[in-house]
């Protein structure tokens, strides 16, 4: 049963998450909230797939990433002489090194509001500011400060699509259509069937 409000999102447990032995923990958090695993595999990404996912020619995305970093610097009173685009380009170069450093576990999750639910459970990009209870807040001590001064990507364990549009695009990058599986979970009916209460009432007649 698929409810009209169900969506799909792409998650990557990045190399640091895999090598910290956190794949099970992370998957468990998504399963227990009621999301369905639609597809899953382990991949050691090459530069071609990474550059498709984090596209160095997508200047709008590079500027968003750069502006986010600039805001962080401003908050800390740090002066930076670079444009948002230059910062974004450098983040992208470091991302290429980070994601090609080891195998990642890629999966597609399905459920109501899945993009928003997953981002909520993942937490903020900067683990140091991520709320306790989120994956990045609970399992990482990394920070913008430490990673920037070490000139590397912030090791924040996990990627999750930011919007429904981004999710559609990213799922196509990592999975073929025939790798997405349709199956039911025993609790689908309890979560999504609008007639569930009526059915329960019938059982007790
Ligand atoms: P996300 O959606 O929360 O993963 O964040 P973005 O899509 O903005 O950035 C992609 C990834 O690049 C992040 O998860 C970090 O690993 C890394 N990253 C982004 N911005 C910065 C930055 O300013 N400094 C460093 N060191 N890494 C960054
Ligand atoms: Mg992102």
In ligand 1, the atom with minimum distance to the C-alpha of 151 is 26
Q: Counting ligands in written order, which one lies closest to the CA of residue 134?
A: 1
Specify the pLDDT at position 76.
82
CA distances from 106 to 40, 44, 129 (A): 6, 10, 25
Q: Which residue has the tokens 């990642």?
A: 104
Task: Provide the pairing of β-strand 158-160 with 6-13.
Answer: antiparallel
Strand partners, 43: 104
Specify the pLDDT at position 78.
85
Question: Which residue, judged by its Cα, is nearest atom 16 of ligand 1?
Answer: 154
Token output for 87: 């910062």
Specify the pLDDT at position 29.
98
In ligand 1, the atom with minimum distance to the C-alpha of 148 is 26
List, in order, residues 6 or more apart from 124 with CB less than 8 Å away: 130, 131, 134, 136, 137
Task: Give the residues surrounding ligand 1 with Cβ less than 6 Å away.
Answer: 65, 68-69, 91, 95, 125, 144, 147-148, 153-154, 156, 159, 162
Burial 37-55 (b: 16+ CB within 10 A, else e): bbbbeeeebeeebbbebbe
Per-residue pLDDT for the chain (205 aa), expressed as one digit of tens each?
Answer: 688 889 999 999 999 999 999 999 999 999 999 999 999 999 999 999 999 999 999 999 999 999 998 998 888 888 889 999 999 999 999 999 999 999 999 999 999 999 999 999 999 999 999 999 999 999 999 998 899 999 999 999 999 999 999 999 999 999 999 999 999 999 999 999 999 999 999 998 8
CA–centroid distance, residue 53 to ligand 1 (Å): 13
- Domains (range + CATH), the chain: 4-44+102-203 (3.30.70.141)
CA–centroid distance, residue 161 to ligand 2 (Å): 6
| CA gap 58, 196 in Å, rounded | 46
Specify the pLDDT at position 1.
65
Q: Is 159 a catalytic residue?
A: yes
Task: Report helix, strand or coil for 154.
Answer: coil
Catalytic residue among 3, 28, 53, 159: 159
Specify the pLDDT at position 126.
93
- The whole-model pTM stands at 0.95
């Amino acid at each position: 049963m698929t409810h009209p409000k169900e969506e799909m999102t792409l998650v990557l447990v990045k190399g640091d998450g895999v090598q910290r032995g956190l794949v099970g923990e992370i998957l468990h958090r998504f399963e227990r909230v009621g999301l369905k695993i639609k597809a899953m595999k382990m991949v050691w990404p090459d530069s071609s797939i990474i550059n498709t996912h984090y596209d160095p020619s997508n200047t709008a995305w590079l500027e968003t990433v750069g502006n986010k970093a600039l805001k962080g610097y401003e908050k800390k009173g740090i002066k930076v002489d670079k444009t948002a685009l230059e910062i974004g380009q450098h983040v992208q170069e470091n991302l290429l090194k980070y994601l090609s450093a080891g195998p990642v576990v890629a999966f597609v999750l399905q459920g109501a509001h899945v993009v928003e639910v997953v981002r909520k459970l993942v937490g903020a990009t900067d683990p140091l500011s991520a709320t306790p209870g989120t994956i990045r807040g609970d399992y990482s001590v990394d920070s913008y400060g430490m990673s920037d001064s070490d000139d590397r990507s912030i090791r924040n364990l996990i990627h999750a699509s930011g919007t429904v549009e981004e999710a559609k695009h990213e799922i196509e990058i990592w999975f073929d259509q025939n790798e997405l599986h349709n199956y039911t979970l025993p609790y689908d009916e309890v979560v999504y069937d609008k007639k569930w209460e009526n059915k329960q009432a019938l059982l007790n007649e």
